[in-house]
Amino acid sequence: MQTLAGPALADDAPTGDRVAVNGMQVYYEKSGAGDPLVVLHGAYMNIETMGEIIPILAENHTVYALEFQGHGRTTDIDRPITYPNLADDVAAFMDAVGLARADVFGYSMGAAAGLQLAIRHPDKVDRLVAASVAYDAEGWQPEFKAFIPQMTVEMFVNMPFAEDYKRLAANPDGFPALVEKLIRLEHEPMQWADDVKALTMPVLIISGDADVNTLEHAVSMLRLLGGGGMGDMGKPLPQSRLAVMPATSHTAVITQAPLLAAFIEPFLKGETPKGMFD
């Protein structure tokens, strides 16, 4: 097991390891202490690019941050990247590291994978935090929906994170193949409303007010989960909730770690702000 440099003291530094999952060698880092929390990154990202939110969450949780198929230090396989596949990978990863259940925090692609994990493997998810997510392709912003047909491999291989990929990847030449799979992922159908409505675990939806998903879609998701009604009427609030980050684009959601943690921690603890009638 490799000990990696981290922001905490040496004894608290993340430890990195690999585990066999569905034909891949999945890289993950474990840090912190407390109840288990699985952290899932976005497309084209890795553990490092999730930034400061992981060490902050590790102050109160045992964090298992993994890298998805073909991302970071995890190997790729001859298989499409789909949200159900990613969800099944997370479930198999949890089995491999001995996690029967855990809270889950996902961002962007990781949030959609977390949502599918909750749908496909509900017994494995205690509470789900889903940042910058949609449950239906119609929930994406019009600008993003218009951009999807224009996506090309060449467009992405010239971006700065293409060079960063080579630094960590098991196959430094595998980036174009990864891009092809991620472009195809954007064309995958997403119509999960009935599945979301059937979820029973608490879900925290986090959205920037200028995110890739529309605000209306985030509110629609909250309503599917039983939220969005009036409080202070003698009934307990629903367990699911919505947090909107002001002046925040999609890529700026993950850069605001203290604000994210301020939303996430009370939710994971089941804390609800008290009103005057409580």
Residues 184-206 pLDDT 10s: 999 999 999 999 999 999 999 99
pLDDT tens across 103-115, in order?
999 999 999 999 9
Q: How confident is the model at residue 273 (pLDDT cuts 50, 70, 90)?
A: confident
pLDDT at position 140: 98
Query: Residue 274's pLDDT is what?
Result: 83
Does residue 4 carry a pLDDT above 80? no
Q: Which helix H or strand E contains 103, and what residues bound it?
A: strand 102-107
- Does 44 or 12 have the greater pLDDT score? 44
Residue 240 has φ and ψ, to the nearest 5°, of -85, 155
- Is pTM beyond 0.85 here? yes
Please enumerate in sequence order all residues whose Cβ is within 8 A of that of 194, keeping only pairs 6 or more positions apart, or say none: none
pLDDT at 181: 98
Mean pLDDT of 121-127: 98
Residue 11: per-residue pLDDT: 47
Of residues 186 and 4, the one with the higher pLDDT is: 186
Q: Would you state the pLDDT for residue 12?
A: 64
Give the pLDDT confidence score for residue 8 in this predicted structure: 39
Nearest to 26, CA basis, from 60, 76, 78: 76
Taking residue 36's Cβ as centre, other Cβ atoms within 10 Å add up to: 20
Q: How many contiguous H segments (helices) and E segments (strands) does the chain have?
A: 11, 9
Confidence of residue 251 (pLDDT cuts 50, 70, 90): very high
Which structural domains are found in the chain, ordered by start? 15-228+238-269 (3.40.50.1820)
For residues 156 and 159, give the distance between their C-alpha atoms in angstroms, rounded to a whole number: 5
Average pLDDT of the residues in 74-94: 98
Per-residue pLDDT tens over the stretch 24-62: 999 999 999 999 999 999 999 999 999 999 999 999 999
CB of 108 closer than 8 Å to CB of 185: no
- Quick: pLDDT tens for 204-242: 999 999 999 999 999 999 999 999 999 888 888 899 999
Q: How far apart (Å, rounded) are the C-alpha atoms in residues 114 and 91?
A: 10
Whether the CA torsion 223, 228, 234, 237 is positive or negative: it is positive
Query: How large is the average pLDDT for residues 153-182?
Result: 93
User: In 3-state terms, what secondary structure has residue 126?
Assistant: strand
Round to whole Å and give the CA distance between 243 and 206: 5
Give me the count of residues in the chain. 278
What does the alpha-carbon distance between residue 193 and residue 239 come to, in Å, rounded to a whole number? 18
**What's residue 80's pLDDT?**
98
Q: How far is CA 122 from CA 2, 28, 61, 88, in A?
A: 32, 22, 21, 12
173 exposure class (CB count in 10 Å sphere: 0-12, 13-18, 19+): exposed
